[in-house]
């Protein structure tokens, strides 16, 4: 599943849970699925962050610098 698809599905789960009209069993299943999607999204973000490089010019030469989150 792509990141964007997972986020859309996760948003749908959150909306459904916020409505509060699901049975306890259905709510628990949705919550469990949401946790799995959340972990999957976080893993994809972590992997993407590792791949991100910032291009900088030093002495007229393009170099790659690792991405540093603030």
- Helix (H) and strand (E) counts in the chain: 2, 2
Q: Determine the Cα–Cα distance for residues 27 and 45; give it in Å rounded to an integer.
A: 26
Q: pLDDT tens digits for 19-29?
A: 999 999 999 99
Distance between CA atoms of residues 61 and 55, nearest Å: 10
The pTM (predicted TM-score) of the whole model is 0.71
Tokens of 66: 């690792």
Give me the residues of the chain with pLDDT under 70, please: 53-60, 62-70
CA distance 6 to 25: 22
- The confidence score (pLDDT) of residue 48 equals 84
**Tokens matching residue 36:** 């799995």
């Amino acid at each position: 599943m792509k990141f964007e698809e997972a986020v859309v599905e996760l948003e749908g789960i959150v909306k459904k849970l916020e409505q509060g009209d699901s049975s306890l069993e259905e709510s628990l299943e949705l919550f469990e699925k949401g946790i799995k999607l959340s972990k999957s999204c976080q893993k994809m973000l972590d992997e993407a962050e590792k791949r991100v490089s910032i291009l900088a010019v030093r002495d007229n030469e393009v170099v790659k610098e690792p991405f540093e989150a603030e």
